[in-house]
Structure 1
Amino acid sequence: MSTKTGFVAVVGKPNAGKSSLLNWLMGEKLAMVSQKANATRKRSLLISMHQDNQIIFIDTPGLHEKEKLLNQFMLEEALKAIGDCDVILFLVPATGSTKSYEAFLKLNPKAPHLLLLTKTDLMSQDEILQAIEKYHDFQDRFISLIPISIKKGSDRAYLLGEIVKHLPEHPYLYDPEILTTDPMRELYREFIREAIFENISDEIPYCSDVLVEKVEESHNLEKVYATIIVEKQSQKGIIIGKGGAALQRIGKNARVLMEELCQKRVFLKLFVVVKPGWSQNKRALKELGYEIRG
């Protein structure tokens, strides 16, 4: 029996809802979610099976201006995904303008794309129809336009089926039993980063990153040792908080996510260190897995 297998890049401006969509499609909490923009920094592969077909989703950072070296890396990650895939899902909030979509079209994507209107949860049917109408002049550019409401329970199987229609016939590229190619420590890292984004305000989450130093596994307990990296001493103080309260909140939130994923108890030990200017230093970025070309 022939099967379809292909890569599907999930693309959009920061805060378009890419990670939330992926977690919903996967039925598992695997992608980092935050209300703050530009939380996702690297590409990651999430593997979904649908009616004996294999969809390999590529989670990407949001399309944005490249201000710092780290932002440059993030933009390159998104552009690589657009160039290396079979199908693109372009996400745009239904309440927004068409500007981000027009900017995407200027990239001249070679792969066919589905246009997904996200964040329709609080919109009436008439408002959704008005949002769809805004894209009438672009209807020769996309293969489908689909409004999505995760909270209202849009038809997940329908969207997966629409994606599969445009994938090439090909044997599976990955074991159907696995959900992601990311190692467990990389997922743990993202959960800690998510906890920082959710518990620390202002710009500090953008000046921080996480290095998982060690993971010790046993039958019913996972021990995780990780270092939170910031750029200034004042940022370290805020991450730790008065009497260590902020760091405890970060650890608790991250541990809950880890335990849901690994289905066992987790002991999480967090350290905080200062590395001045790490987000503008190629060597420091490379140590964290962000390799800048050129």
Structure 2
Amino acid sequence: MQESSHKAGFVSIIGRPNVGKSTLMNALVGEKLSIITSKAQTTRHRIMGILSGPDFQIVYSDTPGVITPKYELQKSMMSFVNASLEDADVILWVVDVTEEDINEELFKRVLHSEVPVIFLLNKIDLIGEVEAEKRLEVWKTKVKALHYLPVSAISKKNIDLVLGLIIQQMPVHPPYFPADELTDKTQRFFAAEIIREKIFLHYDKEVPYSCEVAIIEFKEDKKIIRIQAEIYVERTSQRSIIIGKGGAAIKQVGIEARKDMEAFFGKQVHLETYVKVETDWRKRDSQLRKFGYNNS
């Protein structure tokens, strides 16, 4: 197809925490790029997933769930949401089948964007298609969108229909990225995210939310990748929890993270982890900048 008819654009995936946005982007791109846990507010950054076809390129943005920010880290997280909406050619507004009320913070952001909205009712595998259609009809009275669609990101139900609707709205434009690129993030970023996912899966209460992961060494040769990672917590007591009795807890995190890294990078991985205390890092601009958050 000629360059003049090539379509390319940006799609912002937004919604409340824990509505399945990350699972949805992974399904749309066909690769696991965003970490997935059952806990809310797992996503902290804007993660781009790139899907390229012979005559189109879609750049998806998985963003943190929309909340009213209470401290500096959450303010930075919401800045990623705002940036994705500013770039967007299409918005995927995602709710799940348990939601009934409009999130006012999210509604304001969508209202001011003035770009086409595709409204998705996710997790319909939990209730069935008949009940999903009933609930979608109710949402149609509350939210103005170009299209409304029931989907299941886990089972990939109607994901192909979502893709078709997005392509219809893409502007004519040359590709923004090379066709073989899947994301804008580095290997270091994904190594850190894989470790952070395991922390969310293995620890309860506030501990995972108080953790950040920094990759201090990433050395790759033909056969192996050697990674050193620092896990930061806010209090000494949290450090003890992360390490566990006799180091058992952090060892299990390392085993599972290394296994996922080897699958992701397609190469043997040697992983070393260290746990450090950085008091109140979530509230300090200097520390947030160090970890790649932008609070300007």
| TM class by smaller structure | over 0.9
Percent identity of the aligned residues? Answer: 35
User: Following the alignment from structure 1 to structure 2, what is the Cα–Cα distance between the partners of residues 25 and 136?
Assistant: 24
Are the equivalent residues in 1 in contact too, given 2:23–2:154 (CA < 8 A)? Answer: no
User: Following the alignment from structure 1 to structure 2, what is the Cα–Cα distance between the partners of residues 59 and 150?
Assistant: 14
What SS class does the counterpart of residue 155 from structure 2 fall into?
coil
> For structure 1, which runs of at least 5 residues remain unmatched after alignment?
none
Match of 1:171, as an amino acid? Answer: P
Match of 1:120, as an amino acid? Answer: I
Are the equivalent residues in 2 in contact too, given 1:47–1:179 (CA < 8 A)? Answer: yes
> Does residue 104 in structure 1 map to residue 128 in structure 2?
no
> Does residue 23 in structure 1 map to residue 26 in structure 2?
yes
What SS class does the counterpart of residue 124 from structure 2 fall into?
coil
Are the equivalent residues in 2 in contact too, given 1:98–1:135 (CA < 8 A)? Answer: no
User: Following the alignment from structure 2 to structure 1, what is the Cα–Cα distance between the partners of residues 173 and 203?
Assistant: 45
User: Following the alignment from structure 2 to structure 1, what is the Cα–Cα distance between the partners of residues 6 and 83?
Assistant: 26
Selected match of 1:134 from 126, 138, 142: 138
> Which is further off, 174-183 or 89-98?
89-98
Note the alpha carbon deviations across 1:88-135, whole angstroms, 9 max, x for none. 1011002311322x5433332221110111111121232112211112
User: Following the alignment from structure 2 to structure 1, what is the Cα–Cα distance between the partners of residues 283 and 142?
Assistant: 39
CA drift of 1:153 comes to 3.3
Aligned to 2:16: 13
CA drift of 1:51 comes to 4.8
CA drift of 1:203 comes to 0.6
CA drift of 1:151 comes to 3.5
What SS class does the counterpart of residue 164 from structure 2 fall into?
helix
Are the equivalent residues in 2 in contact too, given 1:45–1:57 (CA < 8 A)? Answer: yes
Aligned to 1:95: 98
What SS class does the counterpart of residue 231 from structure 2 fall into?
strand
Are the equivalent residues in 2 in contact too, given 1:50–1:160 (CA < 8 A)? Answer: no
> Which is further off, 156-165 or 265-274?
156-165
> For structure 2, which runs of at least 5 residues remain unmatched after alignment?
none
**Aligned pairs for 1:1-294 within 5 A:** 1=2, 2-100=5-103, 103-107=105-109, 108=111, 109-138=113-142, 141-293=144-296
CA drift of 1:138 comes to 4.0
Aligned Cα root-mean-square deviation (Å) = 1.3
Are the equivalent residues in 2 in contact too, given 1:225–1:268 (CA < 8 A)? Answer: yes
> Which is further off, 250-259 or 208-217?
250-259
User: Following the alignment from structure 1 to structure 2, what is the Cα–Cα distance between the partners of residues 187 and 81?
Assistant: 20
Q: Number of aligned pairs?
A: 291
